Amino acid sequence: MRVGRFTSRAVGHCAPVWMILASLSWSCAPPGWSSLPVYSLEQTDSARAGYRRTTLTSAGAIFVHDFEEYALRLVNSDPTQAVGRYGFGMGKICAIEGQNPAAYLAADMGSEMPAYEVFRAERQPPFDWRHATFRRMRLDTPYGPTANKETTDPSVIREVVLALGEGEPAPAFTVETDVTASTVHSISLWSDELPGLIFAPQVYLAPTGEVFLAESFEAVAFQGTKETIRARWIPASPALTKWATTAD
């Protein structure tokens, strides 16, 4: 996750690269851009080991992306209703369809391409997925017999919530996988209590046939097409394992 859009070092009397890029960005800014509230961004260590806490601040309003927001995703990954901006460049702060912008915002945290993360108003409690009612669930695997498998069966959905909330995690371990054929994916859950957003914990489909869940990752690293993911993985129940690994 980036902290600033541009970093550079001035050479001689030339203008810093970020100033040049920022001026070019401003030359194609949409109408009304300059009147949008300006947000500052700061990142510190989270109280949860292995995570980072990112805050957006504007005129005393503080929004946070911390451990509790790592598993939240946008239903529409490309929001368009800008309600704020960063101090330079074209990074947008957007409203989330279905959400009050005083409660949740989507901030562009990408570098070369837009990549929006969910931010919660600091004064608002985190989304309580343990007591939420989820109406639909999808296994976000792009290939194989269970690719994009969905269910509305409350008993199957409940298996995910119970595992994450009450399951005993194994000691944190690292999964090594290939990004072109990854064994780590998301499980997307929709709730009417979270309009415009999805609760998406992670799932590891082990080559041995076991299935593990994690609310989020502690660390991710890439080397070529290889990906290493560290998390506190929780073994899935037999019922959830069957659902996630069979086509029926």
Give per-residue pLDDT as tens, 66-102: 999 999 999 999 998 999 998 876 789 999 999 999 9
The least confident of 87-96, 166-175, 228-237 is: 166-175
Torsional sign, CA 121, 100, 194, 213: negative
Give per-residue pLDDT as tens, 10-26: 333 344 443 334 444 44
User: Which residue spans within 76-210 are E strands per DSSP?
Assistant: 82-86, 92-94, 104-108, 116-121, 134-139, 150-151, 173-178, 184-191, 197-199, 202-205
Per DSSP, 135 falls in state E
Which pLDDT score is estimated for 103? Answer: 96
The least confident of 1-10, 63-72, 91-100, 235-244 is: 1-10
Provide the token pair at 92.
């947008």
- Residue 28: band (very low, low, confident or very high) from pLDDT cuts 50, 70, 90: low
Per DSSP, 88 falls in state S
Kindly tell me if the per-residue pLDDT of 152 is higher than 60.
Answer: yes
DSSP H or E stretch at residue 219: strand 219-223
Mean pLDDT of 150-168: 94
List CB contacts of 96: < 8 A, sequence separation 6 or more: 74, 79, 104, 105, 106, 118, 196, 197
Kindly tell me if the per-residue pLDDT of 7 is higher than 50.
Answer: no
pTM over 0.75: yes
Boundaries of every domain in the chain: 17-121, 129-245
CA distance 112 to 31: 22
Q: Which residues pair with 92 in a beta bridge?
A: 85
Which pLDDT score is estimated for 76? Answer: 94
Mean pLDDT of 148-177: 90
Mean pLDDT of 229-242: 93
DSSP-derived secondary structure for 35-79: GSPEEEEEEEE-SSTT-EEEEEEETTEEEEE-GGGTTEEESSSS-
List CB contacts of 95: < 8 A, sequence separation 6 or more: 79, 81, 83, 101, 105, 106
List CB contacts of 208: < 8 A, sequence separation 6 or more: none
Kindly tell me if the per-residue pLDDT of 58 is higher than 90.
Answer: yes
CA distance 222 to 226: 6
- What are the CA-CA distances from residue 65 to residues 6, 41, 68, 104, 120 (Å)? 21, 11, 8, 10, 7
Which pLDDT score is estimated for 151? Answer: 97
Which pLDDT score is estimated for 31? Answer: 62
Kindly tell me if the per-residue pLDDT of 233 is higher than 50.
Answer: yes
Give per-residue pLDDT as tens, 173-225: 889 988 888 999 999 999 999 999 999 999 999 999 999 999 988 888 888 88
Q: Which residues pair with 97 in a beta bridge?
A: none
Provide the token pair at 58.
């504007």
Single-letter amino acid, residue 134? F
3-state helix, strand, coil in the chain (%, to 5): 20, 35, 45
Angle at 144 between CA 160 and CA 205, to 5 degrees: 40
